[in-house]
Structure 1
Amino acid sequence: MEKFFLENAVQAKKKVEELVAQGYTHEKIYVFAHSEDREDKIADALDSEKVGMSEMGLLDKMKNMFTSRGDTLRAEMQAVGLTEAEAEEGESELDKGRLLLVVKR
């Protein structure tokens, strides 16, 4: 598992291109942003994955519909393999407007 904090979508696009050139598939690359709308748009533009039922399971995904965005982000980050501490760090960086790219090996 690797993680990268990036300042904007341009940097994220460049990093995704580098990772794909190294042999990673788009299905192993997840993008996180504090704004759900921004996250969706960037994930679609980069053809990266969004955390869904396969990573979280139905009950956890439904539970996240009723929790804060921060709680949801931390749960999704942990679902793709980050530790609780890494997820907290990730959410803190997202609060600053950065993006988080997580790559599963």
Structure 2
Amino acid sequence: MPFIREYTNDENVMEDVKKLQHNGINSKDIYILTHDDDRTDRIASNVNANTIGLSEQDVKTFLNNIFSKKGDELRAKLQEIGLSEEDAHEYEEDLDEGKVLLIVTSDQNVESLFV
């Protein structure tokens, strides 16, 4: 299961992404997700992180997301990167509240970098 951390402040998530990159976590393993696509893209591009796009989703999920509601799309994206349906639902509710998710899919012990 990926490492996930929630944020309410864009600056804080960007600082932590830089910390991860400085500690050897590959940018391709770092994802940003918010409820707003423009916000997601802005944060990710500022720190050279990823968004969950076509390469992380299978074609069926991607096509379904084109026609689904935002909440359904976000839950599908979270499930595609390894979350259970229940966890995806809980995190999607946090996204509804305006939170930013930092998701790391690296095998390294990322949690120890935040101690």
TM range (shorter): over 0.9
Q: CA RMSD in A?
A: 1.1
Aligned to 1:75: 76
Gaps of 5+ in 1: none
**What TM-score results when the alignment is normalised by the length of structure 1?**
0.92
Say which is worse superposed, 51-60 or 1-10, in terms of deviation.
Answer: 51-60
Q: Secondary structure at the residue paired with 2:4?
A: strand
Instruction: Compute the displacement of 1:52 (Å).
Output: 2.0
Q: Note if 1:50 corresponds to 2:51.
A: yes
Structure 2: distance between partners of 1:99 and 1:33 = 5
Instruction: Compute the displacement of 1:53 (Å).
Output: 2.2
Aligned to 1:66: 67
Aligned to 2:95: 94
Instruction: Compute the displacement of 1:59 (Å).
Output: 2.2
Q: Give per-residue Cα distances to partners, 1:4-34, cap 9 Å, x unaligned.
A: 0011210111110111122111110111101
> Which AA in structure 2 matches 1:71?
D
Aligned to 1:11: 12
Structure 1: distance between partners of 2:33 and 2:51 = 8
Which structure has the larger Rg?
2
Q: Give per-residue Cα distances to partners, 1:25-80, cap 9 Å, x unaligned.
A: 11101111011121111111121111122221222111101001110001001111
Aligned to 1:36: 37
Q: Secondary structure at the residue paired with 2:88?
A: helix
> Which AA in structure 2 matches 1:72?
E
**What TM-score results when the alignment is normalised by the length of structure 2?**
0.85
Structure 2: distance between partners of 1:32 and 1:8 = 13
